[in-house]
């Protein structure tokens, strides 16, 4: 596409988002401080703030005394002024949330899945949950839309999941179109790890501008932030790491990709449970949930079982190698972890007395790499859904310079 320039409407929308974003980051701020932070004129800021107050997206929260002159009004986001919905599809769980303008969850509903449900039925479940949430008194503001977080890879143009290894019935199903039709709302789709990293960037600016997020669900994916921007890639599938080789000495067969020792074979939760069953450990995810299987495997390791200890040690070694590759590749200074199954890997680290020191070996020679193991503990099971909801807030309310341009 060819960029042709901008116009007054697009610039006005961008400036409005710029002010909203600055208020969100500052928590409380004044018009004078907004003008200083954004570079906009005092008059422009005043006009934007007036409009946002009328729309119910900002509110006055107090005054600030000055040495001279009248007190300044302090502004903050009006959390109830708008909301978005987030839907996270995992092979074992469907989670739906509603988030307010600050990204706080107001409503939440989860449904267990066995992987054999028809996609149309699952989207109906999500739509019905959204409909019920919409009638809640906590959600009086305007609806911005729905974010849909799914396992990758994805076809963003068609709104479909591509060859999902644990969701075979979903291949080629236009799930974005289905959810739009069922709810009448706009729908944005992204990989679950992309949604999760969006949530972390929105909620926790202290994580820095160069970040690797490890998302552990049924599989493992990476969310990458470089120079303050989320790395999405050409097709929106950045962070697909299943076939990166991390341990050629692992006792596994040749992968479908023709390699030995891939992430998908060595340390992905589904593969780890399969390796445990092959080793004679009774944790078959065909009979219990994958979460229960991983918990049982760590429990067996904690009891001193040599087979379980060896498997978990192999997985953590592979995780360290994956992180070294990712950290070196984008020169990251922060690593964070989330996802519904991350707590079991964290427990395994404690059982084995392991730390992920290896990731400091290369990048750490130049600068410190902070590893945030427990910063978001407890948010794992909803991080995909929360991220999906925040993805809508980010799309609709954050200033994205690329949106300034008219393109053909």
| pLDDT for 66 beyond 80 | no
Instruction: Tell me 149's DSSP state.
Output: E
Instruction: Compute and round to an integer the Cα radius of gyration of the chain.
Output: 23
Angle at 196 between CA 195 and CA 200, to 5 degrees: 120
pLDDT for residue 360:
53
pLDDT for residue 4:
45
pLDDT digits (tens, 9 = 90+) for 292-344: 899 999 999 999 999 999 999 999 989 989 998 999 889 998 888 888 888 89
Mean pLDDT of the 180-185 span = 96
Q: For residue 69, name the pLDDT band (cuts at 50, 70, 90).
A: confident
| pLDDT for 67 beyond 90 | no
pLDDT digits (tens, 9 = 90+) for 262-294: 999 988 998 899 999 999 998 877 777 888 899
Domains of the chain: 3-77 (1.10.10.10), 81-198+384-397 (3.30.420.40), 208-375 (3.30.420.40)
Return the bridge partners of 148, or none: 87, 189
Question: At what angle are helices 342-352 and 290-302 packed, to 10 degrees?
Answer: 10
195: closest CA among 400, 379, 403? Answer: 379
CA distance 169 to 113: 13
CA distances from 7 to 15, 175, 333, 400 (A): 12, 34, 38, 15
Reported pTM: 0.86
Q: Which of 68-82, 112-126, 200-214, 239-253 has the lowest mean pLDDT?
A: 200-214
DSSP, collapsed to helix, strand or coil, labels residue 214 as strand
pLDDT for residue 3:
42
Length of the chain: 408
CA distance 229 to 209: 7
Q: Which of 54-58, 124-128, 265-269, 355-359 has the lowest mean pLDDT?
A: 355-359
pLDDT for residue 361:
52
| pLDDT for 405 beyond 50 | no
Q: Which of 44-58, 97-111, 135-149 has the lowest mean pLDDT?
A: 135-149
Distinct helix (H) and strand (E) counts, the chain: 12, 16
Sheet-wide strand order for 93-100: 105-112, 93-100, 82-90, 142-150, 187-191
pLDDT digits (tens, 9 = 90+) for 373-392: 665 544 444 578 999 999 99
| pLDDT for 131 beyond 70 | yes
pLDDT for residue 228:
87
* 70 vs 101 pLDDT, higher one: 101
CA distances from 388 to 85, 94, 147, 371 (A): 7, 12, 4, 24
Mean pLDDT of the 141-151 span = 91
**Rounded to 5 degrees, what are φ and ψ at 84?**
-135, 160
């Amino acid at each position: 596409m060819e960029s042709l320039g901008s116009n007054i409407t697009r610039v006005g929308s961008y400036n409005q988002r710029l002010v909203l974003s600055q208020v969100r980051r500052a928590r409380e701020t004044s018009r004078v401080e907004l003008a200083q932070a954004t570079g906009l004129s005092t008059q422009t800021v005043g006009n934007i703030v007036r409009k946002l107050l009328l729309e119910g997206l900002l509110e006055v929260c107090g005054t600030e005394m000055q040495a001279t002159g009248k007190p300044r009004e302090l502004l903050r986001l009006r959390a109830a002024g708008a909301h978005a919905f987030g839907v996270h599809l995992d092979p074992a769980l469907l989670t739906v949330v509603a988030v307010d303008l600050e990204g706080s969850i107001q409503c939440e509903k989860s449904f267990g899945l066995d992987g054999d449900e028809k996609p149309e039925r699952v989207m109906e479940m999500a739509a019905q949950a959204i409909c019920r949430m919409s009638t809640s008194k906590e959600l009086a503001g305007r609806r911005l839309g729905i974010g849909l977080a799914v396992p990758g890879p994805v076809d963003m143009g068609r709104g479909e999941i591509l060859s999902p290894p644990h969701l075979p019935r979903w291949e080629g199903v236009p799930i974005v179109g289905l959810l739009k039709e069922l709810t009448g709302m706009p729908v944005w789709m992204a990989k679950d790890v992309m949604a999760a990293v969006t949530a972390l960037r929105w909620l926790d600016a202290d994580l820095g501008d160069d970040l690797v997020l490890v998302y552990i669900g049924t599989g493992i994916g990476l969310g990458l932030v470089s120079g303050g921007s989320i790395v999405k890639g050409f097709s929106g599938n950045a962070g697909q790491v299943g076939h990166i080789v991390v341990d050629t000495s692992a006792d596994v067969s040749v992968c479908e990709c023709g390699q030995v020792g891939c992430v998908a074979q060595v340390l992905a939760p589904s593969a780890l449970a399969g390796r445990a069953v092959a080793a004679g450990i009774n944790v078959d995810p065909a009979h219990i949930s994958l979460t229960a299987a991983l918990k049982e495997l760590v429990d067996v390791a904690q009891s001193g079982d040599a087979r379980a200890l060896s498997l978990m040690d192999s997985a953590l070694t592979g995780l360290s190698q994956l992180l070294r590759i990712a950290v070196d590749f984008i020169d990251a200074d922060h690593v964070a972890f989330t996802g519904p199954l991350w707590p079991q890997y964290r427990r395994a680290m404690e059982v084995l007395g392991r730390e992920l020191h290896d990731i400091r070996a290369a990048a750490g020679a130049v600068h410190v790499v902070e590893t945030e193991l427990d910063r978001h503990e407890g948010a794992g099971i909803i991080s995909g859904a929360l991220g999906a909801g925040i993805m809508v807030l980010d799309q609709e309310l954050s200033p994205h310079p690329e949106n300034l341009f008219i393109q053909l």
